[in-house]
Structure 1
């Protein structure tokens, strides 16, 4: 099979074509983060009382104070009940005033909200309070469940149907169902639309990053993953600004749908991965595409290379069976997936708890995003000079220690706790970026998308479990942090068993992927021998 690294060298491994493709595919990640806004900015326990307008049938001239005094019971502290009301009766107003009402019930005609931070949220529109209060948390779980299913379906599907198709379909689904979410007449319609949005979210991110990476040369291979995370960080800043300016969640959904329409327009010009086409024996299509890329990058392709591309190529078998038939690939998959799971469990435990750090939710969300921007820019340089393995180990140990350090300070020390949590989240996100880059270099083209898809699926399990882990904080607030921080530190030790891939071309076959381990081992041995020889020469001198 023709070496695709040789093809990229001749057509340009980071020319104008690659720059446009990477920018076009990663810009969507800015919007992906914004899709959290409808269930993240909700003020889960707003000031309220039951709607008791039924009594106005007895007397339309009642003042608000009289209406509340006659229809709402009071608690032990003397305030009106937020979840109970007196059972409506068909008496006259004089009878009600004389005898009063004693039998209580839950809200029968909705609630009246006041002194709220937002004009409208899913909590106030769908009355997710009192006995339905846990429904708001269920939205997070449903969304994470959607991301899990999306990763599980779209990842392996990309091996059979191509990277491009499985990138385009999520874009279409996002455009439709982000708007549908804003139009939902009831909570269950909203839940279904959020599940589909989550599925499209999970499907897009894994396929878009891999599609962009497969057009990159060795030196620029980390760029798509880092840029996707960078745009994600900017998206977190944008979500804080969006909801701060637009306090109605439905209006915010329509704005996001409009932005998604922009992506929908240009995404159709993104081509298929030539590496995938060659791996599936579609050589003439790959040849035509490679010639177009060379023309865009203003490069000339040697005739002998074109003959290699159009010649008969071995079709590589792929899929889950191939991935798990190699003990080396299974070991790689277990380690990188466990690491990714640990990082995402910590990350989502923190961001889904954004309103509980004692500061303004808008400020915390903005800080969460803006502090990641320099980290992802720095990530590109660090990976180039330090490598994947050393970088990931350092970040895992640092992230785990920083998160554990938050337990030293009292919960009411909002500024310090928020600063430490923001720092910890920065390293967690940075580690996830490296995992995304690392996993693509560990597996061959024939199973790369399957490995990435299953890896993302494991991550979505972490996202799915994070709201449940956060619930354990009611017993002791340190339980979630201690649990995910311990897993992160353990991951740091396991990464020592992975090979370094920063200076190796993306493998196109299982044999090449397994040989990467031998290359790394040989390189380490050679380095040791060189150091030993140097030491001997110095001693003799």
Structure 2
């Protein structure tokens, strides 16, 4: 405040001198505070811009995803490694996950007669007629025998049983009709009657091993490397698959199956991760679908092998021995350079990247090594700091209502989808009149399902594919309950439509869940949902066991579960072309304003609209370094001719860019990464 030099003013100042001085001091303090605040805001803005510039300047040279364009994102090196090593490694997983279905076919059987009747010199038909009760609707009883004095009956020359004779359970074992099914663990271990559920228990134990093995081999992979983990996993799978053939009893057999189960699906997941870590983000969706197709290829091949090899012992050998040749991977399978960098093994990573560049006929940036070393040190410091500060786990995710609600929906949907998909796969041999053809068809329908899903999932969004796939699959599975018992072909058709729809949903559930969970807790969230979903694989064999009494009952139950999961998925927010949540606070806001009318919306807003919105957003709205990475996600120019996928080669440039250019989401990177960029197999304990 400025005062004029006048008499009146002087008199006034003289009268109120103390109050005026106080006012001037207050104004000066306020001015100082305002100036400091403005300077701090300006400094913060400048610091952020500087941080962004430094981050851009550094990461463009040293971030692995940004380095890949220099050495080749999908060049000759990656293609050779993926096509001849990683993808063939998926085949034994399909073999060992489902060959157990063909080890336990149940032939017609009945109780063996007592010794005095068997040694009486009578024909087999007369012996069976005298010892086994006969039912007009069901034929000879499979688990009951007449409990009478056969010595007296033979003395009295009675050749026809009396229906009033008392019965008891089989005392002398069982006789099997081996005219069609001549080899089975059911025959060798007498797994019938009160032991008929034992093969189902064996299938459940296989999946229990899988739940444990995912964490076990995931830990080995994250700590000791992908190469060591994969080779150990492969050795255990083939060794115990081989030893299964020599099991002297059921309990040894089930122990072998448990150890085989430890490697499923780790034997499939590890080469899948190696493939994803070697290619650029643009190509990860293609690699994901291709890996699924090779896995299905293993299942298709298994149906042919099982058809040709009907002896369960030889089937174990045929599905194990050929894969011992994979020992050559010891010399040809390189370690993941991403993992090497995350462990500080810069020289080894550099050698692999040099080889990659040489095979792809490209060159590494000259300043690569030093800048990568600096980035590696800073990222390791960030990893240590984040490991000390990360607490809360699932309690942290469920602490807010919207995140808690979405977590419940994701977990329920995952449980329903995975249980039904695997349950339908297990039930394939029971459908139709030929178990081998039925299983082949059940696997074959997955191929067009995956290809269709690959084409439309970046156009129609994730939620609708997931929800519609589960609802349609559930409805067709449920409808089988109204089919006549003799309509086996029509029931098979309905089953195949259901499997087709469920396969599309199965492909999308993992990346969709990864996009819904905020980056801050994505690993914990996906780990929790996938482990709960894995529990369904332990239960589903027992649901399929109900089919021994009523063929379509398991389909009806799985259909109800699938429809329920599909409607739960409809309530989840769409993630395609949306700014994905980074922090828990963002996750809480994401989908919070969901309207039920959105359930009817299939195609989300276009990428062009999103680009207009992103261009209008101020710099300050980027709130984390991850957002900076998102803003630079691979949207670059067209791929080189030697890096094109089949879909890129067969579509126009415009269609190619629209289909393969990924939004900033985890659809291209469905495996969780740590701060160093290495993908994680274990993320929830």
- TM class by shorter chain equals 0.7 to 0.9
Name the CA shift for 1:171/1:482 in 2 (closer, same or farther; >3 Å): same
Q: Secondary structure at the match of 1:112?
A: strand
- 1:397 corresponds, among 468, 478, 481, to 468
**Separation in structure 2 between the aligned mates of residue 321 and residue 425 of structure 1, nearest angstrom:** 44
Q: Deviations over 1:70-106 (max 9, x none)?
A: 5444457795432233569895995474799967543
- 1:314 corresponds, among 379, 401, 426, to 379
- 1:373 corresponds, among 443, 447, 466, to 447
Match of 1:40 in 2: 101
Match of 1:287 in 2: 350
Name the CA shift for 1:57/1:321 in 2 (closer, same or farther; >3 Å): farther
**Separation in structure 2 between the aligned mates of residue 271 and residue 336 of structure 1, nearest angstrom:** 36
1:329-344 aligned at under 5 Å gives the runs 337-344=411-418
- 2:495 corresponds, among 421, 425, 429, to 421
Match of 1:15 in 2: 75
Paired residues, number: 519
**Separation in structure 1 between the aligned mates of residue 137 and residue 412 of structure 2, nearest angstrom:** 50
Match of 2:274 in 1: 211
Name the CA shift for 1:398/1:70 in 2 (closer, same or farther; >3 Å): closer
Match of 2:558 in 1: 480
- 2:459 corresponds, among 363, 386, 391, to 386
Match of 1:182 in 2: 245
Give the alignment's TM-score, normalised by structure 2: 0.66
Judge which range, 473-482 or 398-407, deviates more. Answer: 473-482
Q: Deviations over 1:498-522 (max 9, x none)?
A: 4659x99xx9xx889x89x99xx9x
| Contact 2:238–2:320 (8 Å) recurs in 1 | yes
Name the CA shift for 1:73/1:527 in 2 (closer, same or farther; >3 Å): closer
Bigger relative contact order, structure 1 or 2 (CA pairs below 8 A, ≥6 apart)? 1
Match of 2:659 in 1: none
Q: Secondary structure at the match of 1:494?
A: coil
Q: Secondary structure at the match of 1:464?
A: helix
Judge which range, 199-208 or 41-50, deviates more. Answer: 41-50
Name the CA shift for 1:325/1:463 in 2 (closer, same or farther; >3 Å): closer
Q: Between Structure 1 and Structure 2, whose CA radius of gyration is higher?
A: 2
**Separation in structure 2 between the aligned mates of residue 185 and residue 470 of structure 1, nearest angstrom:** 27
1:24-35 aligned at under 5 Å gives the runs 24-35=85-96
Match of 1:538 in 2: none
- 1:490 corresponds, among 568, 592, 596, to 568
Match of 1:411 in 2: 483
Q: Deviations over 1:484-536 (max 9, x none)?
A: 2211331243252x4659x99xx9xx889x89x99xx9x98982694999xxx
Does 2:539 correspond to 1:434?
no
User: Please, which runs of 5 or more residues in structure 1 have no aligned partner?
Assistant: 534-541
**Separation in structure 2 between the aligned mates of residue 8 and residue 446 of structure 1, nearest angstrom:** 26
Match of 2:56 in 1: none
Does 2:291 correspond to 1:228?
yes
**Separation in structure 1 between the aligned mates of residue 611 and residue 517 of structure 2, nearest angstrom:** 29
Q: Deviations over 1:123-162 (max 9, x none)?
A: 1221111111111221221111111111232234433232
Match of 2:628 in 1: none
**Separation in structure 1 between the aligned mates of residue 327 and residue 521 of structure 2, nearest angstrom:** 28
Match of 1:527 in 2: 609
**Separation in structure 2 between the aligned mates of residue 339 and residue 319 of structure 1, nearest angstrom:** 30
Match of 1:112 in 2: 175
**Separation in structure 2 between the aligned mates of residue 118 and residue 43 of structure 1, nearest angstrom:** 10
Instruction: Compute the displacement of 1:451 (Å).
Output: 7.0
Q: Deviations over 1:104-134 (max 9, x none)?
A: 5433443221165432112122111111111
Q: Secondary structure at the match of 1:49?
A: strand
1:132-147 aligned at under 5 Å gives the runs 132-147=195-210
- 2:534 corresponds, among 460, 470, 473, to 460
| Contact 2:472–2:501 (8 Å) recurs in 1 | no
Name the CA shift for 1:407/1:328 in 2 (closer, same or farther; >3 Å): closer
| Contact 1:30–1:231 (8 Å) recurs in 2 | yes
Does 2:425 correspond to 1:351?
yes
Match of 2:20 in 1: none
Q: Secondary structure at the match of 1:386?
A: coil
Does 2:359 correspond to 1:296?
yes
**Separation in structure 1 between the aligned mates of residue 611 and residue 355 of structure 2, nearest angstrom:** 46
Give the alignment's TM-score, normalised by structure 1: 0.81
Judge which range, 127-136 or 63-72, deviates more. Answer: 63-72
**Separation in structure 2 between the aligned mates of residue 169 and residue 209 of structure 1, nearest angstrom:** 16
Q: Secondary structure at the match of 1:302?
A: coil
Match of 1:537 in 2: none
Instruction: Compute the displacement of 1:460 (Å).
Output: 2.0
Task: Output the aligned Cα RMSD.
Answer: 4.2
Instruction: Compute the displacement of 1:185 (Å).
Output: 0.9
Instruction: Compute the displacement of 1:296 (Å).
Output: 2.3
**Separation in structure 2 between the aligned mates of residue 73 and residue 155 of structure 1, nearest angstrom:** 54
Q: Deviations over 1:239-292 (max 9, x none)?
A: 221122111111111111123223333365222221222223222322222222
Judge which range, 318-327 or 293-302, deviates more. Answer: 318-327
**Separation in structure 2 between the aligned mates of residue 323 and residue 248 of structure 1, nearest angstrom:** 53
1:142-161 aligned at under 5 Å gives the runs 142-161=205-224
Q: Secondary structure at the match of 1:303?
A: coil
| Contact 2:74–2:280 (8 Å) recurs in 1 | yes
| Contact 1:58–1:93 (8 Å) recurs in 2 | no
**Separation in structure 2 between the aligned mates of residue 525 and residue 99 of structure 1, nearest angstrom:** 83
User: Please, which runs of 5 or more residues in structure 2 have no aligned partner?
Assistant: 1-58, 594-604, 616-685
- 1:62 corresponds, among 105, 117, 122, to 122
**Separation in structure 2 between the aligned mates of residue 196 and residue 294 of structure 1, nearest angstrom:** 39
Name the CA shift for 1:525/1:347 in 2 (closer, same or farther; >3 Å): closer
Q: Deviations over 1:276-322 (max 9, x none)?
A: 22223222322222222222222211111222123334212588995
Match of 1:165 in 2: 228
Judge which range, 98-107 or 246-255, deviates more. Answer: 98-107
